[in-house]
Amino acid sequence: MEPGRRKGYNGGMAETSGADAGSSKLMEHGRALQLAFSDRLSRRNGYVEVPTALFVPKVDVRMPPLPSVAFYVWAGAGVRKIRDADQPYSPLALSAHGMVLVSEADIEGIRKFAERQILSAGEGGLSRESRMETLRRAAIEVVDGLFQAPTPENIKKSTKVVSSFVYVLMKEPEAYLVLAKLSSHDPYTLQHSVGTAVNGIILARKAGISDEGELNEVGMAGLLHDIGKTQVRREIINKEGPLNAAEWEEMKQHAQWGYDLVRGNPALSERCQKAVLEHHEDRIGKGYPGGLLSGDLHVFSRIVALADAFNALTTDRTYSKARNPFEAFQFINDKLNHKVDPELFRSLVLVYGGKMPAGTTG
Ligand SMILES: [Fe+2]
Ligand SMILES: [Fe+2]
């Protein structure tokens, strides 16, 4: 296992906390964007530390207008104002500080500023690849918080990230392949959750769901589908070899335990909550926890089930190498046919511009 990857989901915070506001070392722009967008910033005495790199444009990149927000720096026991809310600013002067402070009340404006940089397609902005990569990393950052503490507030926070994915995928269909490719890039649960959300949204669109609210629901279900794994003992989650019967029984509880975590949450629709519960059900009643038949399953549950399987197959895991999408389609067709909805499966194959695998049934 590589250090710092799976162990402890606290990668994001350490880099910003305790940052010296007077330091002139600028953070990398993409990293600053990601932290601001996912709102993983340090807070102290009613102020939030924002990396200055967020406001300093990269060469040849046009920035959205700066939000009307006053900037401060730490000074002795208090703070000193270095910019009035509507004052023009010089990126050069600003970059003398590694971090600036904004008041807690202004942080939403800063988050929106970061969001605009990530979501605005077109000339003069960041490239699609770097915007999509930043969005994906920001999502992982948010899911990181979610897996550390699956609280209603953290669930609510992650709805913003999901709606950004939906927004991008509605506005820029060309982003499908970029995001689909990125979503299988890394092996672990956090990345898997983000990948399943992205695949779920793409799949839902391809299957004819075009309502933004519904796409958001699917994305949230994808993001949260394995949240119950936070309740499974760590030694089981991290076990390298195959699980024994008792361990497997505990692992299978994650569907029910996940549902227990999201049930009744007002930020999530009932069918989104149900999709968390039902993502391991199948077409023939052999799935868990309910042994339901696919006729009893909401289409969101079936979408998440397929997006989950596909993302798992196309991702490196401890016990199997990532397959390419076409190998994954063949595998699903040969081995998981009883698990997936045939119509949705066809839609997924189409996303990749592929043909149905040989010997297709169902
Ligand atoms: Fe699962
Ligand atoms: Fe999963």
**For residues 314 and 328, is the Cβ–Cβ distance under 8 A?**
yes
Cα of 159 from ligand 1 centre, angstroms: 20
Quick count: other Cβ atoms within 10 Å of Cβ 100? 25
Ligand nearest to the CA of 256: 1
Task: Please name which ligand lies nearest the alpha carbon of 313.
Answer: 2
| pLDDT band per the 50, 70, 90 thresholds, residue 84 | very high
Q: Which residues pair with 185 in a beta bridge?
A: none
Structure tokens at 228: 């119950």
Please report the pLDDT score of residue 129 as a whole number: 87
237 Cα–ligand 2 center, Å: 12
What is this structure's pTM?
0.81
What is residue 188's predicted lDDT score, i.e. its pLDDT? Answer: 66
- Per-residue pLDDT band at 72 (split at 50, 70, 90): very high
Gyration radius (Cα) of the chain, Å: 22
> Which tens digits make up the pLDDT trace of 114-166?
999 888 877 777 888 888 888 888 888 888 888 888 888 888 888 888 999 88
Q: How close is the Cα of 60 to the center of ligand 2, in Å?
A: 40
Contact 163, 197 (CB under 8 A): no
For the ranges 174-183, 200-209, 211-220, 271-280, the lowest mean pLDDT is seen at 174-183
At 19 the pLDDT is 39
Which ligand number lies closest to the CA of residue 189? 2
Any residues with CB less than 8 A from the CB of 197 and at least 6 apart, and which? Answer: 139, 162, 165, 219, 220, 222, 223, 307
Summarised one tens digit per residue, pLDDT across range 40-53 is 899 999 999 999 99
Q: What is the arithmetic mean of pLDDT over 270-298? A: 94
Tell me what pLDDT residue 185 has. Answer: 47
pLDDT at residue 1 in the model: 33
Write the burial class of residue 118 (CB in 10 Å: 0-12 exposed, 13-18 middle, 19+ buried). Answer: buried
User: Domains in the chain, start-ordered, CATH in brackets?
Assistant: 26-119 (no CATH), 128-351 (1.10.3210.10)
Mean pLDDT rounded to a whole number for the chain = 85
How many whole angstroms separate alpha carbon 129 and alpha carbon 10?
25
Give the pLDDT score at 223.
92
| Residue scoring higher pLDDT (42 or 351) | 42
CA of residue 23 to ligand 2 center, whole Å: 42
